[in-house]
Structures are given as C-alpha cells and as structure tokens.
Amino acid sequence: MDDKGTEESEVEIKLTDGVSAHVIHRERLERVRRQGREKKRQEEERKKEERKKEERKKKNQENPESSDSEDEEDAYLIEQLTKMGISVKKPEPPEGSGLVYDDRMAKFQCLWDPAFPEKPERITEPFARCSELGLIERCTRIEAQYGTEDQVLLLHTESHLEKLKDTVDMSREALKKVSAKYDSVYFHPGTYEASLLALGSTVELMEQILKKKVRNGLAIIRPPGHHAMTEEFCGYCFINQVAIAAKHAVDNLGLKRVLIVDWDVHHGQATQQMFYDDPRVLYFSIHRYEYGKYWPNLRESDYDFIGEGNGKGYNVNVPLNKIHMNDTDYLAIFHQVLMPIAHQFSPDLVFISGGYDAAIGDYKGEMRVTPVAYAHMTHTLMSLAEGRVCICLEGGYCIKSLSEAVALTLRTLLGDSCPMLPAMGDPCHSITSTILNVIKVLRPYWSCFSYQTELTWEELCPFEDVNEMPPKPDMPFVTEENKPKEFPIMYEFEDGVEEEYIIQHKFDPVIDQLIAETSLATPPNKTCIVYDEGMRVHHAITFRGHPEDPDRVTSIFDKHSEWGLLDRCLRVQSRLATDGEIQTVHSSSYIEQMQASAELPPMELRNLQHSFNSIYMCPETNVCARMAAGCVLSVTDAVLSGQANSGVAVVRPPGHHAECTKAMGFCFFNSVAIAAKYAQNKFGIKRVLILDWDVHHGNGTQHSFYEDPSILFISLHRYDHSFFYPSSTDGNHNMTGSEAGNGFNVNIPFNEGPKGDAEYKAAFQQVVMPIAYEFAPELVLVSAGFDAALGDPLGGYHITPAGYGHMTHMLSSLANGRVIVALEGGYNLSSISNSMATVTSVLLGDPCPYLPYAQPQESAVKSINSTLDSHKQFWKCLKFRVPIPDLRPKVEERNSEEEKEEKLEEEKFKENIDELAKNMTSVSVYDGTGQVGEEPKSTNQPESCVTEQATSNVETDPINVGTKPKMETKQLEMETTPTSNNTLTTKTKELGDDTNVQGAGGTMGGAGGAMGGDGGAMGGAGGAMGGAGGAMGGAGGAGTSVDENMGAVGGANNSVLDRLNVVQALEDMGHQQMYAIQPLTWCPHLDTVHSLPQRVLDTGAPCLDCGNLGENWVCLVCYKVFCSRYVNEHMVIHGAMEQHLMTLSFSDLSVWCYGCDNYIDNQIVNAAKQAAYRHKFGTEMSGS
C-alpha cells in the first residue's frame, strides 16, 4: 500500500471474513457495472452524433439559404453554455530556482576604511551558508552577465555612466575625492565592473524566469542599487539594477504590471523617483523613517507620497517611526496592506529589493526581524504572478543574520516549508498608526481597503497620528537646497550603536540561539496521499442518484493519476479507526449504534436512517465511515512522524456535521475532529488549527471543541442568515466559543448571493491568516469540502480550483508546512476532481495558478467585518478594525463622467458569461476547438463592454510570458428585444454582421435540493435537476443585461428553449451538469397560500402519515405536516392528491412550489417563515 506505483487497494476489513468478502465482492461487481455503463454511454453518444449529422444534412438540403433558423439559434446558445465547462490545465512540472553569484563582485572594497559596512563578506558569507545547508547544489546556476550601456541608459544619464567609468583608472586619492561628493558612497577601481555585473545578473535572472527556464530566483550581488538615482550615486549604490530590469520588462518584454517590494530598512528613494508616474510598476517600500529623522531624511519617504499623474496610488511607502520593529509588525504590514494591494494589482512579475538590514543584530537598521520571518514573507509573495519572483540582494550589514536570512529565503524559493514562527504578539502602537495612515491615503485608489469604518464629524481615530497629515513640525528634511557639498568618507556610527552592536556583540548569542532553535529538517516526501476503493461501498439504497456518490472519491483519485500527482506522493496505508480513537469525539452508545447498523434488517435500517437529519445508510456504512476516519489518521501518522511534510486524504463519507451522539448531513464520524485529538494524544501536539472551507458550517467540529483553547476552529461557510444547511445560528459570527475556548471558534458566515475566489481570499487575508499566525498552530487540518466550488449543485458558490490553490498556499506557511487536507463535501465530479488535484499540486510545491482579481461583494465585506468585530477583543492582530478619516471624495471629484459610466457598465455586465470566464483563468474556458483558452487579463482595470475573445496571437518571442498572450477582441453591442413568445432575443453586432441569438433560461438547477426537491442537507442553492434560472442561463442568455438578484449569471426566465433539450444537448457533447440557481421571486401559485390559522408553527411536529420526526414540511395551503421525499414522500403525495403546491421546509425554512418545480422567495410566505423561525430559534428572523 505504501508503494508509489500502487493503483488500488482491496481493504482488509478486520470484523468478520464474511463482511470482508462481501465488501470485495460488491466492489468488483460495481467496477464491472461501471465499465459496462461507460461502454454503453460511449455507444449512445456515437449514435446520437450520427443522428444529428443526418438531421443537419437533411435540414440544409431542404433550406440551404436559411442563416437564422431556430436550430442555429439553439446551436449558438448550446455553444455558449458549453464554453462554461471547466477545463483545468494540468500543472507544468516545477522548474528549478535560479541562483546568480560571482566572486568578481567581491573584489572591491573601501580602500581607506576597513570597517566600512558595505564589504565583500556581504555576499561571500551568505553564499557559504547556502552551500553549508546544501542549497546551492539544488539550484539552477545562472552565469553572471555584464549589463550593457543601453540597459544602464534606460534610467541613468550618459554623464552618470561616464562618471562611473572614469573611476576605473583613478588613484586612491582621486577616488577619495570623488567619493566625498556623494552621500554614503565609496569608489574602488573595481566598482564599475561589479556594478555592471550586478545589473547584468539581475536582468539575466529575470529573463530566465520569464522564459520559464527557472520558476524563480535569487541574485546574491553587490553593490546594491535602489538608492542610485538617474544622475547621482547614493547610499553605496551606483546603478539601480532592479529598477532597470523592471523598466526593461515593461518597455521591451511586453509585461503589463511589475511589482517591486523593497524591504530594505532604508527607503529606496531612487526606485520611487523612477516610477513615480508610471502605473505599470507598483513600488512598495517598508523602511525606517522616524518621521524623517532617519537616512535618507527625505520628506518624500513618508506615507502620503503615493505617486503622481497616472501613477497616483502606485507608490506605497510604509514608514517605520520607531526602532525595534519585529516579526509581528512586519507580518501585519503584509496582511493589512501589501498582499491586498498586490492581489488587486495582479502583477506579471515580482521583484524583491532584498535588503536584510532590518534583520535582528543589524546595527544600521536596529530592527528585530528574524531570519525565519524573511522565509515567511518570501513564501507569501510567491503566491503572486504564478510564482515568478526575482529577489536581488540590496543591504544587510550584520553578516550572521544576513547569511541566515538569505539562506532561508533561498530555501523557501526552492519549495521547502517555512520554519515555524512563534505566536505573533501585539502589533505596536506605532506600526498600527502607520498601517492605518497608509490605508487612509490609498483607499481612494484601491478598492481592497474596505475593512475600516469612516469617522463621523465629531469622531477621532483612537490612534492619534491617523487624525493628522504629515509632516511633523520642525523635521530636518534634506533638500537640494540644504544638502552638504561634501560628505564624510569614513563610516560614522550613530550614538550608542557601536557600543551595543560592535563592541559588546549583544545580539550574537541571540542570533545563535535563533539558528539553533530553528528546525530545518525536511521529510523525505513532500506530500502523502491515502485512498481506498473500499470507501465506495457506502451507497444509497432508497435514493438513486444521491449527490454523496461513490464516484466522488474515484474521480478525484483518477484526476490525481491523470496529472501525475500520485507518482510524486507517498502512498499511505488505509485502515479502520478503532473504537478508542472514535470515542475521543463520539459517545460509546452512538458508536455501538453504528456498529449494530450493519446487521439491521432493511426496514429497521431505514428507520434508523430516518431518525437522523439528511442521512442515507446501508449495511456497509459503518465500515466506510470507520475507514474514512482511519485513513485521515494514517495521514496524520505519516506527517507527524516525519515521513511526509503534508498529506491528502481522499475519503468518504464526510464527517464535519457528525455530532457526538448522532449522524447528520451525510456525515457519520467526524474524521478531522478525531484526527485533531489523535495528534494531541499520540504526538503531544499542543495547538491545532482546523480550517473548514466546506460550503456548509461544520457544526459537529465546532461543538466538539467549543470550550477548548488548544484547537482553533475557523469556518468559512454559506450562512444566508441561518437558512442554509445546517440551518442553525451556531454558524453566526458571534459564536466565538465559551469558557477557556472563548475566541477560539471563528465563523465567517456569508449571506446574500453566491461567493467565490474574491470573497474567500479576502476572508483569508483579513481574518484567517492574521489569527492563525497569532495562534501559531503545530498542525493544520483542513476540512476540505469542495461544494463551494464553481458548478456544485448544492453549494451554489463560485470558487475555482485556482482559488482553492491559493488558500492552500497561504495555509502551507503555517506549522512547518504540516497541513493535512481531508475531503468533506463537494458534489460536482469535475469541480471536486480539479479542485482537490490543484490543492495537492500546491502542497507538492507547484506554483499557485493565476488568479485574477475581483472585488469582493459588499455583503461579503460586511460578513468579514462582523467577524472582525466579534473577535478583535480576543486577537491582537485584528486591532486595525477602527474608524479612519475618509479621503475618497477628493478622488471622486477627479473622476470624469465617462469613467463613472464605465463603472456602471461594468457592474451591469459583471454576471454574464464572459465576466464569469474571466474569473476562471487557470481554470480555462474550453473554446470548442480542442484548445484551452489563454488567461484573460486581470479585472483590476474596468471594461465598458462585453468582449468575446476571438483569436489568440501568442508571441513567439521566448522572453514573452507564455501565459499572457496578446488577445484580439471583438467588441459586441448587445441589443435585447422581446419576441412574440415573450422571450428575449439578443442581437449581436460585430463589424456590421447581425446574428440573432435567443437567450436561454436556466438549466439544471433547483435552488436547493440536489434533484430539485425539498430541503435537508441538499437544500442549497442550485440543484442538479429542476428549477429555473441557472448559473449560465439567465433572462436573456449570454451577454444580456441581467438582474444580479436573479442568479449567478442570469434570471428565472426559462422559456426560450426547452430546458431538457438544452441539458440533453450538453450531455451529448460530454459536459457535466454544472449549474446553480436562486429562488424565484414570484410564481403563479402564491395566490394559493393561506394565512396562518395562528401565529405559531410547530417545527417539531411529526408527519401526519408516518410519524417521522426528521425532515418534515408544512403545507402552506392547509398547514398539515408531512415528511419529505427523502423519507417517505408523504408531502409529495399530499401535494399531488390535494393540488396543494406550496410547502415550507422545517429543516432550512425554504419554500418549494411543486407547480413551478422551484424554490420561492416572496414576502407572501414571510409570515409562515417568520413563525417557523420564531419557534425553531426562539427569536425574530432578521431582515423580515
């Protein structure tokens, strides 16, 4: 079983030989049946295709002139719907990390001051430390190149270059004399050569990354460059290599957006100046400032210098106004400012001006950033630009901390897990003020800053500096007028610094201890995986086509095999969880009940099934549930024993709804909760983070650890004001834990419409990652339901595989990379297969797929803010949720009417098919030609009209980034007019050609049930069959204006084409059902709803026919209570016999109309819903 080549395993079930043989027999029989069904399907498809060809041929012969026939309209519609099939590209094999280093850059030094900080050891010692750790041999070595004069002249003047050239033949005295003309500079005869080598090496490394010869890279070079101005040497810098490379990238190599992150402790004023009006380059600098007292003492280094002209908003300064800033402060900058703005900017390439003079022990920076923190900052930035990160050494003058930080940076680029950081503390008052000030001035230009409220007229921000604008009075800024004519050529220490840092070596033992305590152990396997065919035998006996289908795990496993991921993973032995292991979460009586279920007669088993909420059972259920839990424990063993760094468990049935004493929501044993207790009991793990991204709230997990401060539970889920399954207020943001566990239960409940990548990523940036770093888990367990994925029939959300990849990447920075991902829900086979395979790919170290930016919905921002408000009393990292001054009106005044119209137009069309396709980049759109479409451009720039990607002209220049081809677009004008049958016709005008296309109504969706039925766990948004609207359909089809309240991409009109014909056509073309809808806001049967006889509904009332207490519904005509179609179908029978078509679910309080075959949301039914809510939860329903 632990062989990497093993494809399948037959489970050895240690109960009785009869059960074991029975399971194996059922599996073999199922495999034969599956093969037979596949052959039959293929034969039917072939016959259908032949029939269609004959019909088209006959049609053309009868009417060869017809160009706008109904068949052509139907074909066009089907083609548009077909384009929405998800086709995720297999990840390319990871390239190596490039490394540039050349001893020739160590041959110059200050000839008259041996103690000068900028010395050869700055590159030789980091290189030696990287070699000592075995990192050099793992890199792709890139030969250092000399920069050309043309490259220098991209940003420097000819006179500047000539002055540098002249120093080659100067005497020592002449060098001293010319050095005195510039601030903090010394010249050496080798300076010119080293500067050209630093430039050429930077450009060469960048080009190798863009050519995909390497994935990322590090240039260990000197002299530094970010202070070198257009015509002035400054701060040990002569040629600004990073700025020149960035300029070369946008001017000559076709890149659209480049991000430069400058974490050197000194402000890179020269880089800022060179791109101050250029929106193609976002410059982000974190630097010591002290209100202007610290070098280079410039007014322009403060936070309010944000660019000018077209570049306004693209220059970001984060000035540090006190010394001794630490890891907590720097990570707060990343979480609150850098990563939100970087994701919105969506760069094609990331440069890091890697100065390490903020590292602990550096006497120039006097900061306290640890070497490990640089690994985490690097890892965070690697989520951008598909991992294209180019790091170039700038400053860093404590050789010991510099060497360690550079080595850990390179180790991270190579894909090794970040070493653990201790729990983050309280961001200091000064950095909090700075971060809020940065957000204050940038908020008018970047929509990602939505998590601070606005000050009222009488209100002041609690951080006093935020209420003012700089500068502080009487600051001694350096200007052209007052700067000295001559500068010292000997290095001068600041007061007290030499004694503390140089003479006493105060920080040497601290650095030594940090190094000793940092575990750099690397397991032999990056990721392990477990899967067993035995988990397929759990199946629904009475409900054919149940969404929790055995093929869920098989399709995921097959996708892993197709992508070659299995060969890169350690295969782990499956097993059954023992009674003792399960008892850490579940009661003994419940375990015995489950054990006995295997021997129950069919009717008794069915009765037991009906006693639970949203459950089906078969004789093999107990064994499969034990195996699911046991497999997660096997992965936990492999990870915590050091066999693998991370793990993936492809298991079913899911577990996170299972309570201590009962099954519910397809779940029997809470595998992840059991694994958390197992890790604590067997391995002594002190802190476990459980992250649940299943679309449903993990009620069972929450209840298991609600009072436990050793387990942090964070759940992101669809809530819909408690109406979405499991339909309990326990999933609300104010449920924070109790007693010692208060604050350790974090719910991020989403309401009001479908959510996707943008909303989940924002929640991670604002809530999940800050809290996780403050908690500092030793193990991360992910309850990985993929029912929030695009196309899921129950979830109705829009997360793409790329979105799941990015969330996984963020989590993998925690706990030494010990992340275990266990399958929970997810019911679209295509979606779950691609999504979980992408998660495994990222855990294996592959780059994050490209993910374009989209603005999170206001309702999601509201939910995130509610969670922040509920938890900021418990977590210091959430202190940034305060009111700040609003400067946005100043920007609104400069907006032209045209810009406003474009924004309105963008909002108008944001939910049509083309817009949805933009949000699926790496999840590519199939274009019907057999080719996977290239990535659309980022949505951070508004577009005024719907565009159709036509032909792709991919440049053959190997320098050009392959994933960003130039696209020719056809501008389409959409005119929507009613037709004689009250449908909508969209006329598409393109270069004078008219094509009439009828819009389609929704296909394949019930607003809740998997089969368009009534409620329970399947009462989500968008069923697999039945209903109206449809994620891809809409009231006017692709390209027409739609009401965003009517569904993901469309409304409820479904009369254009017969829904089943469209579905059948899509199935004929091999496309799976991937559509979800919203409830109808009106239906003709609302008139039959009677008012409540009394203002009370008893949601615990039994079925009048069978006495069932599980999933029951109440008739809104006669107010009799009957059971659902998933029990004994008595409500369905009642509706058919009495023609009472309107019903209300006691499970999730949704309303279903049998006449319209859809869910209904109208104020006429609100009185009944309010009464049910009042009885069920003891309070009034919000928003009613």
Catalytic residues: 227, 657
Tell which phi-psi region holds residue 594, choosing left (phi > 0), alpha (psi between -120 and 50) or beta.
alpha
Neighbours of 121 (CB within 10 A): 14
Determine what percent of the chain falls in helix, strand and coil, rounding each to the nearest 5: 40, 15, 50
The CA distance from 642 to 526, in Å, is 10
Q: Tell me the longest C-alpha to C-alpha distance in the chain.
A: 107
Q: Which CA distances in Å does 339 have to 84, 252, 332, 715?
A: 30, 27, 10, 22
The CA distance from 430 to 319, in Å, is 10
Three-state secondary structure string covering 945-971: CCEEEEEEECCCCCCCCCCCCEEEEEE
Helix 241-252 / helix 191-210 crossing angle, nearest 10 deg: 40
Residue 660: CB partners within 8 Å, gap ≥ 6? 585, 586, 587, 590, 700, 703, 704
Neighbours of 513 (CB within 10 A): 10
3-class DSSP state of 851: coil
The CA distance from 591 to 935, in Å, is 50
Pick from 1048, 440, 530: nearest CA to 798: 1048
Bridge partners (DSSP) of residue 966 are 953
**Pairing verdict, β 281-288 and 389-393:** unpaired
The DSSP call for residue 423 is P
Helix 621-640 / helix 588-597 crossing angle, nearest 10 deg: 120
The CA distance from 238 to 184, in Å, is 11
The tokens of 67 are what?
């160009």
Helix 508-517 / helix 399-413 crossing angle, nearest 10 deg: 20
Residue 810: CB partners within 8 Å, gap ≥ 6? 380, 383, 764, 768, 769
Strand order, beta sheet including 525-530? 570-571, 525-530, 644-649, 819-823, 779-784, 688-692, 711-718, 745-750
The tokens of 927 are what?
């274009």
Residue 212: CB partners within 8 Å, gap ≥ 6? 92, 95, 962
The tokens of 915 are what?
């817009």
3-class DSSP state of 77: helix
The CA distance from 777 to 420, in Å, is 9
Kindly give the residue spans of alpha helices, DSSP state H, lying in 229-298: 241-252, 269-274
Are the beta carbons of 106 and 120 closer than 8 angstroms?
yes
3-class DSSP state of 926: strand
* Site of tokens 């609690």: 462
Bridge partners (DSSP) of residue 667 are 664
The CA distance from 156 to 601, in Å, is 86
Q: Which CA distances in Å does 1150 have to 724, 1013, 1098, 1128?
A: 9, 11, 15, 19
The CA distance from 653 to 664, in Å, is 11
